Amino acid sequence: MPGERHRYAVDTGRQVVDVDGERLACATARPAGDEVAGPVAVLLHGAGTGRTERLLPLARELAGRGVRVVAFDFSGHGDSTGELAELSLERRFRQACGVIGRLVPADAPLTLLGWSMSGQTVADLVTHYGDRVTALALCAPAVYARAAWPVRFGAGFTGIIRTPDTWRDSTALDAYRAFTGRALLALPARDDVIPPAVTEQVTAALTTRSRLTRHTVQDAPHQLGLWFSQHPSAVRAFADALLPG
């Protein structure tokens, strides 16, 4: 992906995509007038209060550096339809695939960026798309037990993930061990949500075959999407780490 050798004017857009029985609010950003084939960055927000709106400053920063960007609100979040309690990790994967299928050219390589819960979603997409994923960036990532994947958030999910060490059999760790592209692991200096053991295992998995870069976001808490929306310098530093050269 291109680095910061040039700055581009940015075109942004909004649209709604029907996926998985929901209407998902999507946002796009791209270099103005860009028709050149290249990687598309897909931004995947975290759980709870996570939403695409917080990621738009980063989307614009990446587009200004020559990267096409797609982001969307999962169902039950932001401006999308649905109830959060009816969402699941499986549905998150299905919704991401649907948006990519609708908004990303079929021949475009993928750069996947995931915040918190989307650490699992990025891994699911890496397994699904294989070599089409050439780079990924994980921001304070979480991974989850295999048993949690199909369970709706309002129907037993919390009980599974609160059971100690169930995350250790996560399919995400297998996906990251197999990944051979470029990987960026962005870690907040003050994360009180993700257990250190999870971060250690994600780091070890990515070290197996990928070209891993670690990036610490100074002073930041777990909610890196919100932090980026409030700290332009952190957005620029993250983009520098993602787009070296």
Residue 57 in contact with residue 228, Cβ under 8 Å? Answer: yes
Q: Across residues 178-191, what is the average pLDDT? A: 98
- How do the residues of the chain divide into helix, strand and coil, expressed in percent and rounded to 5? 40, 25, 35
Q: What are phi and psi of 14, to 5 degrees?
A: -130, 145
What number does CATH give the domain 10-242? 3.40.50.1820
Percent of the chain with pLDDT over 70: 96
pLDDT in tens, 212-235: 999 999 999 999 999 999 999 999
Per DSSP, 156 falls in state: I
pLDDT in tens, 132-179: 999 999 999 999 999 999 999 999 999 999 999 999 999 999 999 999
pLDDT in tens, 17-71: 999 999 999 999 999 986 656 899 999 999 999 999 999 999 999 999 999 999 9
Segments making up each domain of the chain, as ranges: 10-242
What is the token pair recorded at 21? Answer: 């029985």
Strands laid side by side in the 133-139 sheet: 10-19, 22-31, 68-72, 40-44, 110-115, 133-139, 182-190, 211-221
> Looking at residue 6, what is its pLDDT?
78
> Looking at residue 4, what is its pLDDT?
42
Q: Across residues 194-217, what is the average pLDDT? A: 98
> Looking at residue 3, what is its pLDDT?
43
Q: Other CB atoms closer than 10 Å to residue 161's CB: what's the count?
A: 17
What is the token pair recorded at 171? Answer: 């399919």
Q: pLDDT band at 244, cuts 50/70/90?
A: confident
Burial of 84 (0-12, 13-18, 19+ CB in 10 A): middle
d(CA 73, CA 84): 11
Q: Are strands 182-190 and 211-221 parallel, antiparallel or unpaired?
A: parallel
Burial of 136 (0-12, 13-18, 19+ CB in 10 A): buried
What is the token pair recorded at 222? Answer: 């777990």
d(CA 146, CA 173): 11
